Amino acid sequence: MAEPFWRVKSLEEMSPEEWESLCDGCGRCCLNKLEDWDTGEIAWTDVACTLLDEGTCRCRDYARRSEVVPDCVQLTPEAVRKLTWLPVTCGYRRVAEGRDLAWWHPLVSGDPESVHRAGVSVRGRVTSEDDVPVEEYEARIVDWPNEEVVADEDEIIG
């Protein structure tokens, strides 16, 4: 059996379809983040981008996301290697770092719901930025977005 593409291709060698499939659908990159001006430290909030569908954890208007949300960061191989705020669970980050995809990643499990069942996604844990004033973001800081999931296949993380 042939090795999966993410184990044998560099990020640059992937087709657009392969690249897009590295997204596990967790929605964590769509959370608003706060940066400490002095230290550069990133704090995650549970406040999601206006375009995040909180049920599917996918963008409601992916094709036009940069038009609707001008500061939306487009992930490219170069960006993935530089962005320090990508969650350690992120498929793009894992592959860029030479790690394999996690057992719950849909490309491994064959099931797009596995990321949600494993507790990796933001499903059920976020509020839209449409409902939270910017001045309240600091009160909505959470630490779960950058947790590494080390569960075995039978364990569900909550």
CA angle 24, 92, 73 (to 5 degrees): 95
- 57 located within any domain: yes
Structural domain boundaries enclosing 34: 14-144
pLDDT over threshold 90, residue 135: yes
Report the number of distinct structural domains present in the chain.
Answer: 1
Distance CA 48, CA 71 (A): 13
In a domain, 3, yes or no: no
Go through the chain and tell me how many residues it has. 158
Alpha-carbon span 117 to 85, nearest angstrom: 23
Query: What is the reported pLDDT for 96?
Result: 97
The model's pLDDT over 95-112, given as tens digits with 9 standing for 90+, comes to: 999 999 999 999 999 999
- Is 7 part of a structural domain of the chain? no
Residue 49 lies in a domain: yes
Within-domain flag for 118: yes
Domain contains 125:
yes
pLDDT of residue 56: 95
Query: How high does pLDDT run on average in the chain?
Result: 91
CA–CA separation, 92 and 99 (whole Å)? 10
Model confidence pLDDT, tens digit, residues 34-56: 999 999 899 999 999 999 999 99
Print the SS3 string covering 97-143: CCCCCCCCCHHHHCCCCHHHHCCCCCCCCCEEHHHCCHHHHHHHEEC
Say yes or no to pLDDT of 28 above 50: yes
Q: How far apart are CA 44 and CA 20, in angstroms?
A: 24
Amino acid identity of residue 15, one-letter, is S
